[in-house]
Amino acid sequence: MAVSVPLIEKAVRCEPPLYRPFFRAGIAVVLTLGAAWGALLLVRIAWAGSFTAIGLQEVNAHGHAQIFGWVGLFVMGFAYYGLPRLKQVELAHPSLARLSLWLMGGGLVVRSVCQAAVVAWAGFGLPAVLASVAEIAAIGILVWVVLATLRNAEAGLEFLDYYVLAALGWFLVQAIYGTVYFTATLLAPGRDELLGLVATWQGPLREIQIHGFAMLMILGVSQRVLPPLYGLRRPSAARSLSALVGINGALVGVVTGLLLMRLAGHAWAGLWYLSVLAMAAATVALVRRWGLFGPVERSNRSLKYVRAAYAWLFISLAMLVALPLYQFGLLPWLAPESEAASIGFSHAYYGAIRHTVTVGYVSLMIMGVAARMVPEFQDIRQESLGRLWTPFLLVNTGCAIRVVSQTWTDFAAPAFAVTGVSGLLELTGLAVWGVHLWRLMSRPKAAISPSIDERDAARHCEASRCSVLSV
């Protein structure tokens, strides 16, 4: 029989639970501006038989919605509700936290829609930039509230908290960087100048968003919640902090190498590649020690999502390490007449790497962790819930088809048609999962555990408008 293991012994929660509006907003974004829009873009790409058939601003608007809406809103919801529970402390400045939802939600919708529409009318550029400023303000509030909450915790800062702080730091950096970069693309005087901006600045931005913000946040949360959930080996402070320093240092090297390759010469590709190797080695060494893929003491419906997510992470890192071999070995040998071989860069392969990590790793981790934590937050027994195999199979199948077929477009044009199917599979899987999670969050909350003295709980609620939950 499955065993339900609480993440902590005692926690403080604010009423009503603050994670709900953030998670719901994240689901709404991924099923509209996120995965749904992405699926539509893929169908159009498949129809045209070219990844350049979609305009830059529309593609980037979709990507912006995914990072800020799908990933960002779930991170904010967990930070405002789950982090205080884990640290056994009340959330600092809850009114500011609620304000950040409106700033982030409104900002990302306006930014994404107006960015896509700016091609039709340049006047949409101003509200898009102003919306980006609202997003920066929301992230600034998030960082401030998390810092204040951690300062109030009796345990103080622990080594795993540094992952969260590093990820939030990169989140803020990429928001500012992205706003400046987007403004520059709006002001570009011509196509050549625009292409130069994209070639120089977009790659580093994506690295910060994916490996700096999303991956570091997931690695930090994983080290805190996976050991008690599944009975995995707990990371040592020295090993964890060494990996954190290594990954951050490697990320700085990756970003610097990409920029200098464009600004100072291709010899700086060596810095980029050495940094890629360092980042991959540090990440794999950290995760391997957990014992995630071996026998576990406890299992639940989220374990398959977590294992698949980390398998996709390893695949994405392996593909990144193999990029020079693919570009300068495989392509000239098997597809010497292809555009990717002639220009010395495969947009298809690089895009496949990013899809592997964003959907295969990040999205599956969000789905798995949320499927485990929302029932706990709602006091719902895990044993009473379905296993969520349908969304798991749909998203993994869609991701596999996308990665393989997108790479194969360098060698055979008919692969574009297969690529278009992948987005529909992923969207369907996310929709099934999203409806399930939404229904869980809509259930009435269970009463306070009778193990807590009701008179003490009532006095605490009256004093702080919060309740202490024994889980």
Q: How many helices (H) and strands (E) does the chain have?
A: 22, 2
Token pair of 56, please? Answer: 């830059």
Q: Is residue 377 in some structural domain? A: yes
* Cis, bond preceding 375 (omega within 30 deg of 0): no
Q: Is residue 21 in some structural domain? A: no
- Tally of residues, the chain: 471
**235-264 pLDDT, tens digit each:** 999 999 999 999 999 999 999 999 999 999
**CA angle, 29 then 31 then 32, to 5°:** 65
Mean of the pLDDT values across residues 431-449? 82
Q: 3-state class of 378 per DSSP?
A: coil
Across-strand partners of 466? 14
**83-120 pLDDT, tens digit each:** 999 999 999 999 999 999 999 999 999 999 999 999 99
Token pair of 261, please? Answer: 């390759």
Domain count, the chain: 1
Q: Is residue 392 in some structural domain? A: yes
- As a whole-number percent, the residues of the chain with pLDDT over 70 amount to 91
Asked if pLDDT for residue 124 goes beyond 90, the answer is yes
Structure confidence at residue 443 (pLDDT): 87
Report the chain's mean pLDDT, rounded to a whole number.
90
Q: Is 445 exposed, middle or buried (0-12, 13-18, 19+ CB in 10 A)?
A: middle
Structure confidence at residue 445 (pLDDT): 67
Give exposure, 264-278, as e/b (b: 16+ Cβ within 10 Å).
eeeebeebbbebbeb
Q: Domain residues for 318? A: 299-471
Q: Is residue 436 in some structural domain? A: yes
Q: Is 463 exposed, middle or buried (0-12, 13-18, 19+ CB in 10 A)?
A: exposed
Taking the C-alpha atoms of residue 374 and residue 394, their distance in angstroms, rounded to an integer, is 21
- 40-44, 294-298, 369-373, 463-467: lowest mean pLDDT where? 463-467
Q: Is residue 156 in some structural domain? A: no
Asked if pLDDT for residue 362 goes beyond 90, the answer is yes
Asked if pLDDT for residue 295 goes beyond 80, the answer is yes
**381-431 pLDDT, tens digit each:** 888 899 999 999 999 999 999 999 999 999 998 899 899 899 999 999 999
Mean of the pLDDT values across residues 44-53? 86
The C-alpha torsion from 322 through 323 and 324 to 329, rounded to 10°, is: 80
Q: Is residue 325 in some structural domain? A: yes
Residue type, 340: A
Structure confidence at residue 52 (pLDDT): 80
Q: Is residue 348 in some structural domain? A: yes
Structure confidence at residue 466 (pLDDT): 38
**8-43 pLDDT, tens digit each:** 434 444 446 899 999 999 999 999 999 999 999 999
Asked if pLDDT for residue 452 goes beyond 70, the answer is no
Asked if pLDDT for residue 372 goes beyond 60, the answer is yes
Give exposure, 398-423, as e/b (b: 16+ Cβ within 10 Å).
bbbbbbebbbbbbeeeebbebbbbbb
Mean of the pLDDT values across residues 201-229? 97
Q: Is residue 345 in some structural domain? A: yes
